Amino acid sequence: MSSLPLLTILIAVPLIAGALCLFVRDEGARWIALIGTLIAFAISIYLWVAFDPNGAQWQFVEKVPIGGGVSWAMGIDGIALMLIQLTAFLMPICILASWRSIQSRVPEYMAVFMLMETLMLGVFTAQDLFLFYVFFEGGLIPMYLIIGIWGGVERIKASYKFFLYTFLGSVLMLIAMIYMVGTAGTTSIPALMAYDFPVEAQKWLWLAFLASFAVKLPMWPVHTWLPDAHVQAPTAGSVILAGVLLKLGGYGFIRFSLPMFPEASYIFIPFIFALSGIAVVYTSLVALVQRDMKKLIAYSSVAHMAFVTFGLFAMNRQGIEGAMIVMLSHGLVSGALFLVVGVIYDRMHTREIAVYGGLSNNMPGYALLFMLFSMASVGLPGTSGFVGEFLALMGTYQASTWGAIAGTTGIILSACYMLWLYWRICFGEARTAEAAAMPDLSMREWWVLGPIALAVLWMGIYPESFIRPMRNDVGRLMTRLEHVAPAGDSQLKLAGPQLKTIDAQDHGAHH
């Protein structure tokens, strides 16, 4: 293993690139941002290659004390590694997607995006509780600016709503963190993951963390900031919001809530399942009636995130691995869907579903990719969505049949709204002359969407590449949860006499 502080370099590269962007003109800023994100992506690929799935839990560890008990502690396990891949992969795509659609204050835009990448990567690499919090909360500032400056008509309201909603959720987590550090006497996340808090305290801590993660994820009923933020954000902002920011909630559950408060997690399983079940069905129905494409995809995000909570709180291997794959897959697919919307938005400047139609005639390439991503969102076998949703639901079924029923209903509904959306936009006759006259994807747009399409298929056909680095970490999490994991109501037991009959038949066959 190299002695270079790779994770610090990974975080510093976008930061430096972002600072450079401020000193050049528009075109220069675009190139600096693209190169900066590509370097970060290259480093993250190296991390993936160099990461030893059978090695120590925490790899590439760095630690420099800052003072006051806090240190610059970095390190990743397989779970963080995969989320870093997702972030570093989506970032260059976001920059490319904003290449022409952002025309005002470009250097600042690129700088803010780079800052965003730094903070997101910091969240996944931080091993110090307060360092984590600083990165976690810090992400609000750039996102506030992205929505507020480069957003749509109602951007001011959406940016306030986004900021205050998520800020309120997170400060309660801060109090919980203070209490934890006071009780356990350490700010190290790996140490806290092994610390056993008293059950009574766990409940309060778990709820405080829930306040933060549930808003980020988001879970029903605290999801209402998300549609507003998505609709108003510029395309690349939506991609980052859906692709990475929402994953912070899931990452929080898997890194904090489950391993640090296993007993409390067990106690609140019915609560989480109930919220997730409502989320899946309710937000899918809401998505069905949306007229705005971005809003529809935003609601579908809430529904998909409910699979994550289902899977995680099933507390078995299929569930947790499935939840992780759902997160990765949703990061790619919903990001891609927002980009797909962005492509036609750039041409027509409206997100009304009703003005489009028949795009498969004049934009065949576009229709093909849109089809792929819609299918992945629905969970068609062969795409990444299938692997994640299937695993998560399998895990859920073992823990709770009712949860699985709600979840599968959601899958059916997701097929309804996605296929209907696709039908209204790509098939039939063009409803307006402008829609019929739109040109197909440009080379740049192919470069934006093509890599995501490949990644979606790769994850769908050979998910092992993505699951392998996480396998041992999921195993460690399960060991931690072993004594509380729910038995489930689906373990069918055959009654005694029937067993005998089978035995007898077997014997009969042998003789």
Partner 1 sequence: MARFAPILPEIILAIGGLVLMIASAFVTRRGAGLISWLAVALLIAATVALIGAPSHAGPLFDGLVVADLFASFGKAVIFPAAAVAVIAAHGWFERGTEHAAEYAVLILFAAVGMSVMVSSTSLISLYVGLELNSLAGYVLASYRRHDERSAEAGLKYFVLGALASGILLYGISLLYGFTGTTSFTGVAAAFGRGAPTLGLLFGLVFLLAGIAFKISAVPFHMWTPDVYEGAPTPVTTFFATAPKVASVLLGVRVCIEALGPATDAWRQIVIFAALASIFLGAIAAYGQTNIKRLLAYSSINNVGFALIGLAAGTAQGASSVLFYMTVYVVMTAGAFLCVLWMRDGDGEPIETIASMSGLSQRQPGFAFAMFIFMFSLAGVPPMFGFWPKLLVFDAAVASGYVALAVAGILGAVIGAYYYLKIVKVMYLDAPAEPYSRVREPVQGALVLFAAVAVSPLGYLLIGPLGSLADRAAETLF
Q: Would you say 220 and 283 are in contact if contact means Cβ atoms under 8 Å apart? A: yes
Residue 172 engages partner 1 in binding (rule: CB under 8 A): yes
Task: Print burial letters for 77-108: b (CB count within 10 Å at least 16), e (below 16).
Answer: bbbbbbbbbbbbbbbbbbbbbbbeebeeebbb
Q: Cβ atoms within 10 A of the Cβ of 378, count?
A: 23
Decide: is 197 part of the binding site for partner 1 (CB under 8 A): no
195 is an interface residue for partner 1 by CB under 8 A: no
203 vs 347, which CB is nearer to partner 1? 203
Structure tokens given for 335: 């990001």
Size of the site for partner 1 (CB under 8 A): 37
**Residue with smaller CB distance to partner 1, 173 or 242:** 173
Q: How far is the CB of 201 from partner 1 (least distance, A)?
A: 11
H-helix or E-strand containing 54? none
Q: Does 137 bind partner 1 (CB under 8 A)?
A: yes
497 is a site residue for partner 1 (CB under 8 A): no
Stretches 54-62, 132-140, 246-254, 256-264: which one binds partner 1 (CB under 8 A)? 132-140
Stretch that binds partner 1, among 130-138, 353-361, 436-444, 476-484 (CB under 8 A): 130-138
Element (H, E) at 69: none
Tokens 């990974």: give the residue. Answer: 10
106 binds partner 1, rule: CB under 8 A: no
Smallest distance, partner 1 to C-beta of residue 331, A:
24
- The rounded radius of gyration (Å) of the Cα atoms in the chain is 23
Our finding on whether 14 is near partner 1 (CB under 8 A) is: no
The residue written with tokens 């510029």 in the block is 234
Residue from 89, 163, 356, 466 binding partner 1 (CB under 8 A): 163
Report the nearest approach of partner 1 to the CB of residue 361 (Å).
40
* 134, 355, 380, 405: residue in contact with partner 1 (rule CB under 8 A): 134
Question: Which residues fall within 8 angstroms of residue 87, CB to CB, at 6 or more apart?
Answer: 44, 117, 120, 121, 124, 243, 244
CA distance 432 to 436: 7
Q: Of 237 and 357, which CB lies nearer to partner 1 in the complex structure?
A: 237
Does 105 bind partner 1 (CB under 8 A)? Our answer is yes
Tell me: does residue 143 bind partner 1 (CB under 8 A): no
Q: Where are the beta strands (DSSP E) in 55-135?
A: 59-67, 70-76
64 near partner 1, rule: CB under 8 A: no
Q: Which residues contact 437 (CB under 8 A, 6 or more apart)?
A: 362
The residue within the footprint of partner 1, chosen from 35, 171, 368, 484 (CB under 8 A), is 171
Residue 44 to residues 37, 107, 113, 318, Cα–Cα distance (Å): 10, 25, 18, 26
Is residue 12 close enough to count as binding partner 1 by CB under 8 A?
A: no
Residues that bind partner 1 (CB under 8 A): 22, 65-68, 70, 105, 108, 119, 130, 133-135, 137-138, 140-141, 144-145, 148-149, 155-156, 159-160, 163-164, 167-168, 171-172, 174-175, 178-179, 181-182
